[in-house]
Structure 1
Amino acid sequence: MAHIPRSALLLGLAGLIPFVWGAITAAFPDLAMWSVRTIGSRLTGPYVGLFYGAIIMSFMSGVLWGFAARATGMVASTGYALSVIPALWAFFMTGGGPTSAGISLIAGFIGLLGLDWLFWKQGLAPDWWLSLRVMLTVVVVACLAVPLV
């Protein structure tokens, strides 16, 4: 796998901040109370990770759509169809409360990694894509798991 461009790496790592903040505020009740008073409950504990996770799943659908646009014929058609799955997953699977939504998002991000691999394997994603996505997915899944334990 190729070297991850610095800008992609830094932006990817910056995109982890809401997930990490959600995990930290879920693990430390005093920090969670401060966060609720200061920035609100939606940006504290599991809620920030769940809300942001649904947004990122939808964003990743757009990224995969862009990869599909690099293909032709049946590969493109299949790629377009597969690219909408993360957004639909987030829409339909995150409404049943924080525990089930967290479990669904964890499953969604693991499934998304499979789609990342497929697009990468087909040569539609950059050479470095899978290296970046594995690293980010491990952190996202770990952060989403914190409120569940």
Structure 2
Amino acid sequence: YDGSTLGNMAFGQGLAVPMVQMVKAVGSIANGGTLYTPHFLISEGGQSADWPSTGTSVSAETAAEVTDMMRTVVDSGTATNGDVEGYDVAAKTGTGQQINDDGTGYKDDSYMSSMIGFANASDPDVLVYVGLNGTSYHGSAAGSMFSAIMSE
């Protein structure tokens, strides 16, 4: 961190994490606080893979509270376009302005827009992350893609 990091974080800037790290963190919330390392292999030779947990990130109570907050984001917040009929979806949008090419300030019309979430929120089977780089729209821009993927 440098002197500006804390101030930038107050309005959603100054900190970035790789998609896999975000999936691991939100996956932990979806799993009641149990932390797993993300894998891209669902099954091997027709047999479901059983991945061991790697610890706990938060208490089950905290995970349940965050899940409820993420449900509210889908029900009446910035992720309403990520709702999927017939599923209880918990999700969160994200927006970050792109930094100017010369490193001074932020672009007015270029954003990193994302949505990450899981369903069914009470007993998740799937987690989806959509990230759009360089879009002219805010966090809700990823919602229609998120919803389409989640519907499949």
Structure with more contact order per residue of length (Cα contacts < 8 Å, sep ≥ 6)? 1
TM-score > 0.5, shorter chain as reference: no
Q: What TM-score results when the alignment is normalised by the length of structure 2?
A: 0.26
Q: What TM-score results when the alignment is normalised by the length of structure 1?
A: 0.26
Structure that is richer in strand per residue? 2
Structure that is richer in helix per residue? 1
